[in-house]
Structure 1
């Protein structure tokens, strides 16, 4: 593999690593941020969701913009915005400013993420070399999610929570330098679905706000914007969400399962962080180490899941992941204010992580396999959007259910309720998978 192409692969993986890392790395710092800003749980939820909501809302538009004006330009713009926004996060004097900077980070990430995949496929046009390169890209993606809490714990313990954002600045500069090695963009004729972007972003932001703030007007706005989004996508000449793809039962079901996976998954990760640091008073590093058994399967099982999915199809792997993860979520019922972390929390969280590790790659394979080969890129983008959007809603919902860890008894009761809700969703998703996901 030529050095130049290796550098391109490395830098695009680095850009994607930063995007995925910032989904989870902040979680372990939330108690420290809350203490520093005297902020409650709703502010902490928005520090996570400000990033996730905008990433989900603009992800498909980022890919369409790359098609329209060139992916290299869009990746470079995304890296610039992400780097500047990271510096803004590090310098934020209060919670509101930090949320605004996280929103800007999400916009940069939405430009960056689809383009990294497009540039890798352009750099490695051969079928076999492209498969190897995409395997590296997928492995780094899983590693980023697993690394986030541990890296966050180390940095917060050693240098404070602001270091989580400062580290992004030089890394985005290096990734931009590597992106310049990619040949100039070819002429492009794609179009951007502006109306779809605006209505979709409004719908998601309003629904998340309604859950976090218990706002009925925001809920009404969210439902109305959702209806408007579907109407726009039905008539748009270049829709973000081609509704015709939903006629595929496998594709539609795979995205419902992906949404349920992230709804319960990211919501549970938020509550696990608050439980360990808020109820058990663990340090950020100790909390990160306690969560490691739940995150390691995401990276360790990725190659195994890929081989199992290739051999047996996504359906049995998805069902195994959903049932294992649901068992772990129900295991949270054994967690109490005074129970030991090793005796109650760790076994449940580890099973939950194994379920996620089995499920993640298989869900993507099911979504991509449920559409014609020429629509694989669109299918992947829709699947990513479903995961990020439902993850944002899950964070909002689970945070609202549990409340503040400053009231340990009420928080643990909320943790139990969230665990049952998540398990119910994953069991229902397992039934949907058995019925709707096609055989290989």
Structure 2
């Protein structure tokens, strides 16, 4: 399961480093680069909950293997893409494959380790191993782009897929499927339309401002959201069960998870463009410079798992949010020609903040969800994170604009840092109000 999650995470960070080269080779601007990231995350977010239900129906081991095989095929299509349209479509297929993988990996871990302390430690290992992909991605991506071109960052997935499939078939036991579970197709479609329209609206607004296209996308997003809310109250087996979403602890944990990824994924996108588009570093140098952001994620995840097991998730969540807020505020120090040292505090703050947050916010969501529905709980949590990550790329990308205008981009980067800090301050308030402390947990 860690191998499958490693694959999905590797693809996120390895692609960011390749974006300027993809843009130059396929003759696309900032909106095209945003869609290379967001076509993956939008489809991933829209299909996650449905994939969790499919995993419950067919067995999570079976669905994980299918997801790995499809991810490999989509990676091959990405590596052979002749134009930006084909690449975006292949990335969307990758997102669908990742949607099959994510809930199943987490559900298998959750059911294999049912005792709470043991489960928290297992989640720490799961998050730690998968987080190794984050520091590996920029450096490996930079090296591959430098030596073999941007297509190699997708083709490198193929041997990882083979290893992950073999490990899953050998080491993961078959789970009992639940064929009576029904898939909420209207809910899936409404959620996909709403998220796709909202993401398109943000990207189009950043590219051309207020226009008929952005207005139409906004209307579609509102109608899609309204249709989703209306249907979920009437569906026989809703995608978002009101009984689950009605719990303040579950909603709070997932709201914090969403804010975490909005800032984290959006931050990676804009900082990568800053290093390569404004400061003109090559892909390998930019990848190495991103290590202070990604390395703490891998280092902190196992420690966070143990902290959450012993003290509950609230304390590491608060610590991570405080560090992340400070890191986002440090973006005010960045200038078009300033030293790398001015960016370093922002990278370290966000890196250690995300390292403390990731495993603990997942543990908080799983504890607050229904014990009999781990696939649903993990699906909602991952949906919140991935949807917010797609919006983070769209919104922060719209704020910073084209890196060709260094002054405007850097000014936008400082505004993006201010918005990120405000969001994480709001997440601190939500954590204090909804995530139980050690005494409440013990009681």
> Is this a same-fold pair by TM over 0.5?
yes
- Judged with a 3 Å threshold, the aligned counterparts in structure 2 of structure 1 residues 323 and 72 are, in CA distance, closer, same or farther, namely closer
Aligned to 2:47: 58
Cα gap change, 1:178/1:309 in structure 2, threshold over 3 Å: closer, same or farther? closer
Is residue 140 of structure 2 the alignment partner of residue 151 of structure 1? yes
Pairing partner for 2:203 from 202, 212, 218: 212
Distance in 2 of aligned mates of 1:288 and 1:281: 13
Are the equivalent residues in 1 in contact too, given 2:120–2:363 (CA < 8 A)? no
Q: Distance in 2 between matches of 1:431 and 1:184?
A: 42
Render the CA deviation track for 1:256-303: whole Å, top value 9, x for unaligned. Answer: 111111111111110110000011101111111111011111111112
- In 2 relative to 1, CA 403–185 (structure 1 residues): closer, same or farther, beyond 3 Å? same
- Structure-2 residue corresponding to 1:104: 93
Q: Distance in 1 between matches of 2:328 and 2:115?
A: 42
1:353 aligns with 351
Q: Distance in 2 between matches of 1:144 and 1:243?
A: 35
Instruction: Output the CA distance in 2 between the equivalents of 1:248 and 1:429.
Output: 17
Asked if 1:201 is matched to 2:192, the reply is yes
Structure 2 residue runs without a partner (length 5+): 206-213
1:291–1:346: 8 Å Cα contact kept in structure 2? no
Deviation (angstroms), 1:304: 1.8
Q: Distance in 1 between matches of 2:377 and 2:230?
A: 20
**Number of residue pairs aligned between Structure 1 and Structure 2:** 428
TM-score scaled by structure 1? 0.92
User: What is the alpha-carbon distance in structure 2 between the residues aligned to residue 84 and residue 14 of structure 1?
Assistant: 17
CA RMSD across the alignment: 2.1
Tell me by how many angstroms 1:97 deviates. 1.0
Question: Which residue number in structure 1 is paired with residue 405 of structure 2?
Answer: 407
Deviation at 1:178, TM superposition (A): 3.5
Could you say which residue in structure 2 is the equivalent of 1:33? 22
CA contact (8 A) 1:53 1:204 kept: yes
Q: Deviations over 1:193-231 (max 9, x none)?
A: 111111111111111011101211111111111111122
| Aligned partners of 1:56 and 1:110 also within 8 Å | yes
Distance in 2 separating the partners of 1:381 and 1:38: 36
Which residue of structure 2 aligns with residue 385 of structure 1?
A: 383
Find the partner of 1:422 among 416, 420, 423: 420
**Long gaps (5+) in structure 1:** 1-11
Match of 1:3 in 2: none
Q: How has the CA–CA distance of structure 1 residues 179 and 435 changed in structure 2, closer, same or farther, with 3 Å as cutoff?
A: closer
TM-score calculated relative to the size of structure 2: 0.91
Alpha-carbon deviation of 1:175?
2.5
- Per mean C-alpha deviation after superposition, the further-off stretch among 205-214 and 300-309 is 300-309
